[in-house]
Amino acid sequence: MKKLCQFSIFTTVLFAVLSFTADSNPLVGKWEYSSTQPGGPFKLLAIFRANGTFDGFINKKEFVSGTYRMKQDTLYISDPTCNARYEGIYKVEFFSRRDSLKFHVVQDTCKGRREGTDGFLFKNVSKVK
């Protein structure tokens, strides 16, 4: 009985640690913003990886790659199109069960990045491993 109790406690602690580790960076995954423009449908896809890199695609064509880091609900992001040594700062607002999000600019002098992310609703389209 004592061994069963110890095993149950060990299993509970293990699952708690694993679930915390897997969700330590809720931004990891594929996030998509979709709209209709005068020229047709527009899709912006951002892929954030656990190693701190990201790629951005417009209508399935890669247009940017860079690095990022999360600190609680704040995103620090940089890419070569706006000087890879400069980081834009955004608050990240998650909705529902973290299946969608909005970026809110805190500070970013990169006009293209700011205009392509600030206030738009991105949906999680799948998790990246």
The verdict on residue 15 lying in a domain is no
pLDDT digit string (tens) for 93-124? 999 889 999 999 999 999 989 998 999 999 99
29 and 128 in contact (C-beta within 8 Å)? yes
The verdict on residue 6 lying in a domain is no
pLDDT digit string (tens) for 58-67? 999 999 999 9
3-state secondary structure of 14: helix
The verdict on residue 14 lying in a domain is no
The verdict on residue 21 lying in a domain is no
For the chain, helix, strand, coil in percent to 5 are: 25, 50, 25
pLDDT digit string (tens) for 35-86? 988 888 899 999 999 999 999 999 999 999 999 999 999 999 999 998 889 9
Nearest 5°: CA angle at 52, between 47 and 53? Answer: 45
The verdict on residue 31 lying in a domain is yes
Q: How far apart are CA 118 and CA 102, in angstroms?
A: 7
The verdict on residue 7 lying in a domain is no
User: What share of the chain has pLDDT > 90, as a percent?
Assistant: 65
Retrieve residue 51's tokens: 């190693």
3-state secondary structure of 22: helix
AA letter at 114: R
Domain that holds residue 121: 26-126
The verdict on residue 69 lying in a domain is yes
Residue 85 phi/psi, 5-degree rounding, is -90, -5
Tokens 């860079």, located at residue: 66
The verdict on residue 101 lying in a domain is yes
CATH of the domain at 65: 2.40.128.490
The total of structural domains in the chain comes to 1
**With bands split at pLDDT 50, 70 and 90, how would you rate the model's confidence at 6?**
very low
Retrieve residue 61's tokens: 């064509």
